Amino acid sequence: MKRLLSRLPALFFPDRCLFCDEVIPYAEDGLCICSDCMSTQIFLANVHTCTLCGCPLPPEEHLCDTCQTHIHFFDRALSCMTYEKEIRSAILQFKFYHRIDLYRPMAALMVKRVLPFHQESPYDVVVCAPQSKKSYLERGYNQADLLAKRIAKDIKLPYIKNAFLKIKETPKQSTLSYKERMKNVEHAFKLNDTTPSLCNKRIILVDDVLTTGATADSLSKLLKRAGAAYVLVLTVAATEKDRLETFTPEDIAEITF
Ligand SMILES: [Zn+2]
Ligand SMILES: [Zn+2]
């Protein structure tokens, strides 16, 4: 009965494919993808990727050119897809056009992506990238929080809401290079005083999009400083690597947090 009741909303608001918006049969696991899109969309889980940043790579290569020269503070980044076409438009709808319902299929996609890794070496806790107060007041929700909460519930891990605080407004990052972004996010975040001990924890850090990785790196650095043993960055999508400039260890030495 409880199960039937839980499916009642589907009668009025049927599940639709995340990519083509076709009405589809009720997706129990939240993975709202029609069979056509399941076979035509490119999922990074089915592609050979960099073992550090998760970008697509030719077979036999382990680290992309960028990761051979960059220093990352996270241990691994996993994305479900490349940030383009339908998934890009869905993320923009989710973030800027109040399509809050899209958190469910996106979180389901992220669960599918992370589950084999979690089963191999289990994680301890889920956190999400923070949002500024101003942005929260404008939007009314933090998209990363909605995703992280659902992922934690689905893979049965504790979720630390508001693990970070965004203490400095940062200018829009979309047109900036990695180095400019690192400068931009410098001192922008801190760990919340209410965050429980992260000592020796294996952490999943959730965000919507991985662009240059500057935000993920600065948040990961805070987690590592707090004693985290491992940080996995999990995002819906990642921008293509060839848009990034090369970033050297000398560059990173200039940047302090
Ligand atoms: Zn579809
Ligand atoms: Zn890489």
> pLDDT of 2-15, one tens digit each?
666 666 666 667 89
> Do residue 88 and residue 35 come from a single domain?
no
- Reply yes or no on whether the pLDDT at 150 is more than 70: yes
Range of the domain at 1: 1-41
Amino acid (1-letter code) at residue 164: F
- Reply yes or no on whether the pLDDT at 194 is more than 60: yes
Q: Which residue has the tokens 């891990």?
A: 157
> Do residue 166 and residue 103 come from a single domain?
yes
> Do residue 174 and residue 141 come from a single domain?
yes
Closest listed ligand to the CA of 23 = 1
Per-residue pLDDT at 63: 94
Ligand 1 centre distance from Cα of residue 129 (Å): 29
Listed residues: CB within 5 A of ion ligand 2: 50, 52-53, 64, 67
Ligand 1 centre distance from Cα of residue 148 (Å): 24
- Reply yes or no on whether the pLDDT at 250 is more than 80: no
> Do residue 35 and residue 65 come from a single domain?
no
> Do residue 138 and residue 192 come from a single domain?
yes
| Percent of the chain residues past pLDDT 90, beyond the cut | 68
Report pLDDT digits (tens) over 55-72.
Answer: 999 989 999 998 998 889
- Reply yes or no on whether the pLDDT at 154 is more than 60: yes
Looking at per-residue pLDDT, the higher value among 221 and 252 belongs to: 221
Mean pLDDT across the chain: 88
Q: Dihedral angle at the C-alpha atoms of 115, 119, 123, 128, nearest 10 degrees?
A: 0
3-class state of residue 63 by DSSP = coil
> Do residue 132 and residue 174 come from a single domain?
yes
Closest listed ligand to the CA of 64 = 2
> Do residue 197 and residue 155 come from a single domain?
yes
Q: How many domains does the chain have?
A: 2
**For 71-87, what is the mean pLDDT?**
95
Cα–Cα distance between 87 and 185 in angstroms, integer? 26
> Do residue 14 and residue 77 come from a single domain?
no
Listed residues: CB within 5 A of ion ligand 1: 17, 19-20, 34, 37
Which CATH number fits the domain that encloses residue 159?
3.40.50.2020
Straight-line distance from the first to the last Cα atom of the chain, in angstroms, rounded to the nearest whole number: 53
> Do residue 55 and residue 134 come from a single domain?
yes
Ligand 2 centre distance from Cα of residue 4 (Å): 45
Buried b or exposed e, range 62-96, using 16+ CB within 10 angstroms: eebebbeebebbbbbbbbbbbbeebbbebbeebbe
**For 243-256, what is the mean pLDDT?**
43
> Do residue 10 and residue 110 come from a single domain?
no
> Do residue 94 and residue 73 come from a single domain?
yes
Per-residue pLDDT at 245: 45
> Do residue 212 and residue 91 come from a single domain?
yes
**Could you tell me which residues come within 8 angstroms of residue 180 by beta carbon, excluding any fewer than 6 positions away?**
none
Ligand 1 centre distance from Cα of residue 40 (Å): 9
Ligand 1 centre distance from Cα of residue 105 (Å): 12
